[in-house]
């Protein structure tokens, strides 16, 4: 999708330096992707704070490790 946006040169320069993108488009894509990832982590953290994780009865790290290793 093509988008026209009025963004100051200063912000574009900072984004390009921070992301190391090859061009403006790649830099903005990197910046927006990282921003969304941070927001998603923040949301999940908030969810855990509001309602803590509950493990199934009989859960153990040993059993999970064993299952992951296919044993």
Q: Is residue 49 part of a domain?
A: yes
Q: Which domain holds residue 50?
A: 9-68
Q: Is residue 1 part of a domain?
A: no
Structurally, the chain folds into a number of domains equal to: 1
Report pLDDT for 20: 97
Has residue 71 got a pLDDT over 80? no
Average pLDDT, the chain: 93
Q: Is residue 4 part of a domain?
A: no
Condensed to tens digits (0 to 9), the pLDDT of residues 28-57 reads 999 999 999 999 999 999 999 999 888 888
Report pLDDT for 54: 83
> What whole-number distance in Å separates Cα of residue 26 and Cα of residue 13?
13
> What whole-number distance in Å separates Cα of residue 35 and Cα of residue 45?
15
How far, in Å, are 2, 25, 40 from residue 57 at the CA level?
51, 49, 28
Report pLDDT for 39: 98
């Amino acid at each position: 999708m093509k988008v026209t946006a009025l963004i100051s040169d200063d912000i574009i320069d900072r984004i390009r330096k921070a992301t190391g993108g090859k061009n403006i488009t790649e830099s903005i894509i990197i910046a927006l992707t990282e921003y969304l990832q941070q927001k998603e982590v923040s949301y999940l953290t908030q969810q855990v704070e509001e309602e803590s994780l509950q493990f199934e009865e009989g859960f153990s790290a040993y059993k999970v490790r064993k299952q992951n290793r296919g044993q």
